[in-house]
Amino acid sequence: MNPGRLGAFAAVVLAPAAVVAAVGAGVYVSTPPGDRAVLARVLREQAAFLAVAAVLVTLVAGLLLAAALRRYVAPARRLAADARVVLDANPDHRVTPSGPAELRELATALNELAERYAAARRDVAEQVAAAAADLERERHRLASLMGVLTVAVLVCAEDGRILLYNAAARDLFGDDVGLGRSVFGVLDRDLVVHGLARVDAGSTPHEATAEREGRLVRVRLARVPSGTAGFVLVCEDATRPGRAAARHAELLGSTADLVRGAAGSIGAAAGALLDYPDVPAEQRRRFVEVIAEEAGRLGEATRRLTAEPGIDARGWAVNDISARDLLTAVAARTPQAGLGDPAEDVWFTVDSFAVADALASVVRLLADRHGVSEVVLAAGSDDAGRLGRVDLGWEGPPLGAGDLERGVPDAADVVRRHGGELWADAHHPLVRVLLPRSPAEPRPAAPARVEEPPPALYDFELERFQPDPAAWSEWEASRLDRLTYTVFDTETTGFAPDEGDEIVSIGAVRIVGGRLLRTETFERLVDPGRSIPRTATAVHGITRDLVRGAPPLDEVLPAFAAFASGSVLVGHNVAFDMAFLAAAQRRTGTGLTAPLLDTLLIDGVVHPDHDAHTLESMAERLGVDLVGRHTALGDALLTGEIFLRQVPLLAARGVHTLGELRAAASATAQARTSRRLYRS
């Protein structure tokens, strides 16, 4: 029995007895001394009758008092608890009238008040939504912008906690990036501290290179503007460009050696021909063959040098651009250019800015010096397929010999440095440019998911919810509304880990700054190494075939521990899940050392007069939709929603810190089977 209810029952029984005893003592004291002997004799003679009467009176009075308590006190307590739910957790919850007429009337009045309260909340919410519309649009705009950036961006608080990141950061650093986590988990602390010291000393944004898992990461660090404490990291994988540059330098070196040797051979052969014009025909033929052979070697060296992808001979960074986009860029630079037939399947690998400028300068030459009113741009591929062509055509006379080279020497230089060619047709009004094609057709872009809003990867108010760095490890004193949580759940083959049942799935979600981050989730299937009973499959839908090939728990647990690092663990009936995880922790040496909270015990704190503490009953009370039940991630999301609505109810009862919650939870009747989780 609940200790509180046992105390109430004792009070109900003993109160009438105390009243009877007090009345008897008063009668005895008020009796004159001479009559007390007579009274005492009468009491002794009627002792049995009086005892039975006293017991009957006590029982009747106790029953009447208990009935009064059930009729008035218990309904009043439930009424107060329901009122707290309406006020702090679920404004749409309504009180069920019970008890005497007075309390039913009070419940009706409370429901009317709740209706007005809900209407007022709706009005305020509409006003807040209208006022926040511009801000929300800016946030979505920022999320969209961050999503299309090809470099990783991390915005961090002064203590290194990540406040903002984009999809490129997740691609570069993997699951180690997340809101509320430390950036020092992905980058060396000394590198960041040194960079901040340089920036604070007045240096420009600091650049450095870090190594991560065999890759080189180029890091650019700057302070957050406007005096806000924190810093911004822009990171990109420098391994591939670095290797390309090294390969290019190697090619340049070998080409320079070849050019020196070939130039010497050609010079010697040409000198012999010039100095001895009457050499025999056979010897002259051999000299010419030497010159031709060395010229061929020079041509091959040039081809290898210009064919190297990624960086051209001048150090330009090149990338793929479609023929249509390139010609459109040229047309945007000069009004005389018009689009003809840009082949849809032709892509060039060039410095698009430099090449577009070069082609535009050719169009301007034709317009300014030769009076051409319109130049039609077209594109295609040559027969060999290695080069693509851009044709500039017009109506009128063709260009004369040397007009192109003299008029736009820089354009010819840009094209040649890309390994291409540029010339004017002597018989037709045409300038043809050959440029290197992309070595492989680009993959089609994934279809845009316009039906969903940008992912919420940002939270600028995160820092104010973090505890002081010096007190980060002092969990007990941390406020519940400022902690970071990992809410998790497991699905298993059964209910008895000591009898061989195992975990088949783990799901988790993080809560940061009072928000359930649905983009910060962990979900893994686990191979239990045994069969899965049909009764278990009927609950969670996981079959033996589904987990075949999945990693065992000993491999999944370290990944889960990394995901949950730096946070408080939350679960429903969490002792059940911890019993399954205990053996794997011992085997792997991976400890889940964070504090544990149980929503079942928390419900015992905020709703001590309710008997049902299942997820379903708690969700119904708190107005949480039941979605995704009996999947590990679905139950974790549901538990997280419930926990977020329990926090203000705890605050209403004076429970604000983790230490206070542990003390309150350990005092509940439900904690009997889980008391070992609440250690001082």
Supply the residues annotated as catalytic: 630
Report the chain's C-alpha Rg in angstroms: 41
Burial 460-492 (b: 16+ CB within 10 A, else e): eebbebbbeeeeeeebeebebeebbbbbbbbbb
Cross-strand partners of 657: 479
Nearest to 326 by CA among 227, 437, 449: 437
CA atoms within 13 A on the CB side of 445: 4
Integer Cα distance of 589 and 567 in angstroms: 19
Tell me the C-alpha to C-alpha distance, in Å, between residue 557 and each of 183, 561, 594.
22, 6, 14
The amino acid occupying position 364 is R
| DSSP for 570-606, written as a single string | EESSHHHHHHHHHHHHHHH-----S-EEEHHHHHHHH
Give helix 658-666 / helix 599-606 axis angle, nearest 10°: 80
Nearest to 12 by CA among 72, 74, 60, 80: 60
The residue assigned the tokens 């069920």 is 96
Helix (H, G, I), strand (E, B) or coil at 379: strand
Evaluated on CA atoms 651, 657, 662, 663, the torsion sign reads negative
Integer Cα distance of 617 and 489 in angstroms: 18
Are the beta carbons of 239 and 230 closer than 8 angstroms? no
First CA to last CA distance, the chain: 26
Cross-strand partners of 218: 209, 236
Evaluated on CA atoms 321, 326, 332, 333, the torsion sign reads positive
Integer Cα distance of 399 and 404 in angstroms: 7
Integer Cα distance of 325 and 342 in angstroms: 9
The DSSP letter of residue 465 is: G
